[in-house]
Amino acid sequence: MTSKTQGYIFVLLAITIFSLQDAISKHLAATYPPIFVTMIRYWAFALFTIILASKMRGGLKTTARTKRPLLQVVRGVLLAVQVVLAITCFAVIGLARSQAIFSATPILIALLSMPILGERVGWRRWMAIGVGLFGVLLILKPEGEFFDVKLLLAIISCFNFAFYVIATRLVSRDDSSMTSFFYTGVIGGITMSIIGPFYWSSMSPGDWGWMALVCMTSISSHYFLIRAYDLLDAAAVQPLTYLSLVYASIIGVTIYDETLSINMIIGSIIVVSAGIFTIWREHVVGRRTATAN
């Protein structure tokens, strides 16, 4: 088996496990506060990042060394907030529709990269951004007489994650990916440990089993994603992440009795197509710039 094939297998494993994690998180969030669920999940994730960092060359001290400490803290907090927002969305909006809106993230990243990162966006990506935003409007189209205000939570979550990705791009100019991964887990764990105890809830033995499964899927999915990025370019990995929308639709319909409107299906196809094109163009422009330098 070639390293590239192994990389694709790791991506598929990561996406599949992430989707199972989302489904279980939705189940738990129906009974317990999303902040509480996120805190327990982050405890396991933070422990995993510390153990992994300690086994890297130079150990924990070298891995934790950063040139952008403030930005690393901001990243960690943003992702912790994102997990809370996403779990809340799964509970109040539904898996399928939440993931459909989340699929617009690459388009928002391209849009926000201009003022924040100073990146230039050509007419092709401008067209993709416009088409993608039209797809989002289809997904958000009211099925009744009024717009569902709860959908604003998914939009906020989408922007929040876009800012996280942009912050990650900024910090990657100075820090290694392992250092960023370490701070993602540790800062997120600290953040949730400060807020989470105020939302502590008594959990039934059966639900503690589900919580343990969430923690295991969190650790394994991130591990497989790290292995995938070791073997593949980001441009090869990112388009495959749209499989999470397919998984969310299947799980949402079959397990949680969610419904897929025709607007949502068409809008999702448009957003995913625009997102994949945007990712591809970023890769092409990035390679062209690297070659020129």
Over residues 7-28, the pLDDT tens digits come to 888 889 999 999 999 999 999 9
pLDDT of residue 144: 60
Alpha-carbon distances of 214 from 49, 55, 147, rounded to whole Å: 16, 24, 33
**One-character DSSP codes across 124-163:** HHHHHHHHHHHHHHHHH--SSSS--TTHHHHHHHHHHHHH
- 3-state class percentages of the chain: helix first, strand second, coil last, to nearest 5: 80, 0, 20
Say what angle helices 95-102 and 69-92 make with each other, to 10 degrees.
140
What pTM, to 2 d.p., does this model score? 0.85
pLDDT of residue 165: 86
Task: Check whether 103 has a pLDDT greater than 90.
Answer: no
Of the chain, the percentage scoring pLDDT greater than 90 comes to 38
Furthest CA-CA distance within the chain: 60
pLDDT of residue 55: 87
- The Cα 114–Cα 83 span in angstroms is 26
- The Cα 153–Cα 34 span in angstroms is 14
Alpha-carbon distances of 142 from 96, 138, 146, 264, rounded to whole Å: 16, 9, 6, 10
Q: How confident is the model at residue 259 (pLDDT cuts 50, 70, 90)?
A: confident
Q: How confident is the model at residue 32 (pLDDT cuts 50, 70, 90)?
A: very high
